[in-house]
Amino acid sequence: MTATGGDVTPTSRSAPSKVAASPLHLAACREVDSTGQIDEALGLAEHLRDATWRVDSAAIAPVDAHGGLIVAGMGGSSVGGRLAAGALGPRLRRPLALAMGYEVPPWIGRETLVLCASYSGSTEETLATYDAAKSAGAPRLVSTTGGELAEQARADGVPVIPLPGGFQPRAAVGYALVIALEAARLCGAAPSLRDEIEGAAALAGELAREWGPEGSEENEAKRLARALHGSFPVVTGAGLTASVAYRWKCQINENAETPAFASKLPEHDHNEIVGWAGAERRLSAVFLEDPRAERRVVRRMEVTAEFAGEGAAVVERVCARGETRLERLVSLVLLGDLVSLYMAVLRGVDPVSVHVIDALKERLAGDTP
């Protein structure tokens, strides 16, 4: 899956021999991964399929929303909207935007559907956007396991898509993606991708077996984790892969407790490219490539990777797999999730731990008058 064409040959200057020899088989992963986060990642195919059933079971009536769709959420709960926009791409018929904060765009009203996504149902920013959308008279849709958000939605007669409990929010990415795609369909912003969802689920199942802990020690996910270990990854995408680059960054942040950054071409080439000369082998460069991208995008990524190599600890060009846009996007999502989890194992960090986020919430709650 790694592309090595063009002028770049991936290198791994930063990976010490001890790490290169570290096992990433199932037993080694379970020693670190106390709650089975790797198993959740490997269950992506099942999650994609189950999500469609949950949408159907909610019996949501379509709305003709000429203003399009707003996906309001934070962290792992917001990722579905970002990925859905990437999967839909040129097939979008109406706007699809994100609201990641306490407010919704001031222009929304009765012709804009707002999907409020909060896994816990208690995310303060999403509760605020729900109230703002209600005040604006916008039709709403809620995705959650329960909490205050579900209570408010049911009291207001707003449809609730119930999520399964027991996940870390970021591990429910399959649900978040499908629900955002279905919300776009329901409001007239995009066509149905039901056939592509089944194809993406089938591919995810195949790749989970190939890249999982019981797969070869030289499989793509394990190899990339070892290559990136000890550096701070900058993950760059373009078009379809730009949204997945952000997903990789967030997963490496949370699962491996490692600084990581996301970038997007062609904007990267108007500023960040200059910084690679001063990276001093501390940053690694990962380029997520779509084999169906237009030629000028492919060439730009090749040349950008060459310049990044002047200062990067390692340069990796990773190519999506699959036939449809959704399949290719899902392949990269699964790969990035597994890479981040293997990086956690190499660091000896339990990927379930997000103590600093919990501490932050406690500190802020204590500031509330």
Q: At what angle do helices 194-211 and 325-347 cross, to 10 degrees?
A: 30
Tokens, residue 41: 């990642």
- For residue 97, CA distances in Å to 133, 238, 316, 338 come to 14, 18, 30, 28
> For residue 227, which of 165, 290, 312 has the smallest C-alpha distance?
312
Q: Which of 40, 254, 289, 316 is catalytic?
A: 254
266 preceded by a cis bond (ω within 30 of 0): yes
* Rg (the chain; Cα; Å): 20
CB 312 within 8 A of CB 283: yes
Q: Which of 18, 218, 270, 355 is catalytic?
A: 270
> For residue 10, which of 345, 338, 287 has the smallest C-alpha distance?
287
Three-state secondary structure readout of 9-71: CCCCCCCCHHHHHCCCCHHHHHHHCCCCHHHHHHCHHHHHHHHHHHHHHCCCCCCCCCCCEEE
- For the chain, the straight-line distance linking the first and the last C-alpha, in angstroms and rounded, comes to 53
- Note the helical H segments in the chain: 17-21, 26-32, 37-42, 44-57, 79-88, 124-135, 147-156, 173-186, 194-211, 220-228, 242-256, 272-275, 295-308, 325-347, 355-367
Annotated catalytic residue 254: yes
Annotated catalytic residue 361: yes
**What φ, ψ does residue 24 adopt, rounded to 5°?**
-125, 35
Rounded Cα–Cα distance for residues 182 and 102 (Å): 24
In this structure, the strands spanning 315-319 and 283-289 are: parallel
CA atoms within 13 A on the CB side of 288: 31
Annotated catalytic residue 270: yes
Q: Which residues are annotated as catalytic?
A: 254, 270, 361
